[in-house]
Chains A and B, each alone.
Chain A
C-alpha cells in the first residue's frame, strides 16, 4: 500500500505501559484465561498465521475501505491469511464474531469495535488467552489489548481550523458547521479541534447543526443554514459526505460559487473526498486514515519479526487540496 506517505505512522506514546497488564476491571474472564495476560509466543517467519478481523459495520465506506486495506496489505505477507467478520452495527453480534474467532484459534485479532464498553470484555478474553489484539480506530476500555492504532480527531479538526484561518479566511469571516452524530466522540473532537485551530482569529462560527454523518442530512441542514445565514463564507463539515450534501444544497440555491467547503475523511474511493476535492466541489479535506495497512504491518512485527510494538500508534493526517488530491488518490490505489 502506497498510503505510507499519507499516513506515516507516528509512534507516539510509546509509554512503557507494559503489555502484561492484568484486566481486573472487566467481569467476563472466568473462562480459561483467568489471571493476567500471557506473553504471546512469536512463531517467527516459518509459521503460518490466521488473522481474524472483526469489523463493526462494513456498510460505512470508511470501514469497507479499512477491510480492503487490510486485505491488500496482507497479500504481501505470505505467512498471513485473514478472515473477516462484519457485526452489522450490532454490539452483541460483534461479541459473537470475536468468540467464533477464539473458537477457531486465530493467531491474532484485529478489531474495530462498534462501541467501546460492550466489546471490552471479549477483547480482554482474547488478550488473556495470549492472542495479540490490535484495536483499530475506536478504542476499548481499560488496557487489555496489545496495541491501538488510530488517528487523532482533535489534531485533524485543528488542522482544518488552521487551514481556514490561514488560507481561506486570512482576513476573518463567517463559518457554518455541520457536525457529526450528537454524542459521538469523533463529532466532539473534530469540533473542539477546529475551534482550537481558529482561535485568536477574527473568525466566527455563526451556527452549528447536526448532520449525523449523513449526506442527505447534511444537505437538508445546510439548506436551512444557508437561508438563515446567507453571509456564510466557509462551510466546515465533520465528514466528506455531509460536506458534499451541503455543496448540493448550495448548488440548488445557486450560491455554490460564493462558498468554500471543507470535509474530513478523504477516502481514496470514487465516491470519496479525494475525488470531490480533485473535481472542485470541496476546497479541502483531511485524511482520516483507516490504519488497515499499519495493522497488518504491526501484525507482521508481532508474529513474524518477533518485535515489540508501542501500546498506542497515532496516525498522521494530511491536508488535501486541489494541488495534491489526484496524486494521493493514485498513490493510494496503485
Chain B
C-alpha cells in the first residue's frame, strides 16, 4: 500500500526544520487517517489491471460486476457502520452476526407465519435489534462488564433465540397476497433499480453511511463518543454522560445489525437461524482496515465504508480468479494484519 512506502521514507530521512516537520506530520497523519481510501484505490487498480478478460472486455469493470461487489458488501457495510460507533468508544460488539440471523428469522416469521405487513415487520425487527443493543449496552456500561464478554454472551443468546423462533430451520419467504405469503413489497430488497443496475441493498448501505458520516461530523453526541474513546475518565470528569452515550452506541449497533438482517432476508428470500455466522468478524475487519483504533477515540465512518468496499473488491477479485477459498482466507487475514500494523505506525498527535 502507498502509505507504507511513504512512512518508511519519512523515517529514513534526516530531521527537517520544525515548520516543515509539522506540515509533513499533518500529511503523514492524513495518509494514515484515510489509509483505507488509499488501500481501496490500490486494490481497485490491481483488480482492474489484472482483471480477467472476455473478448477484450475487462470483466471486473463490467457494470453488473461492480453492482455485485457493492450488493455483496452491503450487509457487512451496514453492520460495520454500527460497529464503528461501538469501537470508537473503546468497545466491541461480537453479537452483530447473530443479531443479523435473528432479524432475518424475525422478518420471515412475522410476515410468513404471522401475516404482518412490511412496515410492521420492519418496525418490530428494528426494535428488537435496538432493544438487544440496549440490553448489551446496559450490561456493559452500567454494570461495568467488558463489552467483549457481554457481546460474546449476546451472540449465543441471539443465535439461540433465532433457532427457537424459527423452529431450527430456515423459514422460506414466498411472495403474494395470500396467507403464509409475504407482501411483494419486501421482495424489493432483492431487486436492482436504475435500469436494473443498482442493487437496493447498496442504496440502503449508502443512506446509512451518509447519515452516519454527517452525524459523526456535526453532532454533540459524536464529540462525546470521541471523548469517551480518547479518555473515559477525563470525559466523565468533564461532564460527558458516559453511561448514556455508551448505551446509545450499542443501541445504534444493534439497530443496524437488525437492518442488515432485514436486507439479508430480502436478498435470500429466507430467514435462516444459522445465517450471519462469522459476519461480526468481517464487520470488525472493515472497521480495522478503515483505520479506526480498537482502543477507541480515533477513526471515521468514511474509513469504515472504504474498508468494507476494499474487502468487497478483494473478495470479488479473488473470486473472479477462482483463487482457492482457503488461500482467500489467508489473503484477507494478511490485509487485516497490514492495516492494523499501519495504525501502530501512525504518529500520535
User: Footprint of B on A, CB under 8 Å?
Assistant: 25-28, 30-32, 58, 83-86, 88-92, 95-97, 99-100, 102-105, 115-118, 120-121, 141, 182-184
CA distance A91 to B68 in the complex (A): 15
CA distance A12 to B23 in the complex (A): 77
**Can you add 8 more A-B contacts, CB < 8 Å, to A90-B278, A91-B275?**
A27-B184, A31-B64, A83-B322, A92-B275, A99-B72, A100-B68, A100-B319, A103-B65
A104 adjacent to B196 (CB under 8 Å)? no
Q: Does B315 contact A (CB under 8 A)?
A: yes
Could you list some 15 contacts between A and B, CB below 8 A?
Answer: A30-B191, A32-B196, A83-B322, A90-B275, A90-B277, A95-B268, A96-B319, A99-B65, A99-B68, A103-B62, A103-B320, A104-B52, A117-B170, A117-B269, A183-B169
Contacts of B278 on A, CB cut-off 8 Å? Answer: 90
Contact check: which of B59, B196, B322 meets A31 at CB < 8 Å?
Answer: B196
Contacts of A85 on B, CB cut-off 8 Å? Answer: 319, 322, 325
- Specify the chain B residue showing the minimal Cβ separation from A52: B322
Contact check: which of A58, A88, A117 meets B268 at CB < 8 Å?
Answer: A117
| Most B C-beta atoms less than 10 A away, residue of A83, A99, A118 | A118
Q: Does B192 contact A (CB under 8 A)?
A: yes
Q: Does B95 contact A (CB under 8 A)?
A: no
A129 smallest CB distance to B (angstroms): 11
Contact check: which of A32, A96, A117, A183 meets B167 at CB < 8 Å?
Answer: A183
Known: A27-B187, A31-B64, A92-B72. A120 touches B319 (CB 8 A): no
- Specify the chain B residue showing the minimal Cβ separation from A97: B319
User: Footprint of A on B, CB under 8 Å?
Assistant: 52, 54, 59, 62, 64-65, 68, 72, 75, 167-170, 172-175, 184, 187, 190-192, 196, 264, 267-270, 272, 275, 277-278, 315-316, 319-320, 322, 325
Contacts of B68 on A, CB cut-off 8 Å? Answer: 96, 99-100, 103
CA distance A169 to B173 in the complex (A): 45
A27 adjacent to B269 (CB under 8 Å)? yes
Interface of B (DSSP majority class):
mixed
B191 adjacent to A27 (CB under 8 Å)? yes
B63 smallest CB distance to A (angstroms): 10
- Specify the chain A residue showing the minimal Cβ separation from B268: A118
A115 adjacent to B315 (CB under 8 Å)? no
CA distance A159 to B268 in the complex (A): 36
Contacts of A95 on B, CB cut-off 8 Å? Answer: 72, 267-268
Contacts of A92 on B, CB cut-off 8 Å? Answer: 72, 75, 264, 267-268, 275
CA distance A120 to B270 in the complex (A): 11
CA distance A96 to B278 in the complex (A): 17
CA distance A105 to B277 in the complex (A): 30
- Specify the chain B residue showing the minimal Cβ separation from A103: B65
CA distance A254 to B278 in the complex (A): 41
A91 adjacent to B325 (CB under 8 Å)? no
CA distance A116 to B75 in the complex (A): 21
Contacts of B52 on A, CB cut-off 8 Å? Answer: 104
Known: A32-B196, A91-B272, A118-B272. A27 touches B175 (CB 8 A): yes
CA distance A99 to B68 in the complex (A): 7
Contacts of A183 on B, CB cut-off 8 Å? Answer: 167-169
A310 smallest CB distance to B (angstroms): 26
Contacts of A32 on B, CB cut-off 8 Å? Answer: 196
A86 adjacent to B325 (CB under 8 Å)? yes
Contacts of A121 on B, CB cut-off 8 Å? Answer: 190, 269
A244 smallest CB distance to B (angstroms): 25
Contacts of A116 on B, CB cut-off 8 Å? Answer: 172
Contacts of A117 on B, CB cut-off 8 Å? Answer: 170, 172-173, 268-270
A-B interface, 10 closest residue pairs, ranked by CB to CB distance from nearest: A118-B268, A27-B187, A183-B169, A117-B172, A100-B319, A86-B325, A103-B65, A117-B270, A28-B190, A96-B72
CA distance A28 to B174 in the complex (A): 13
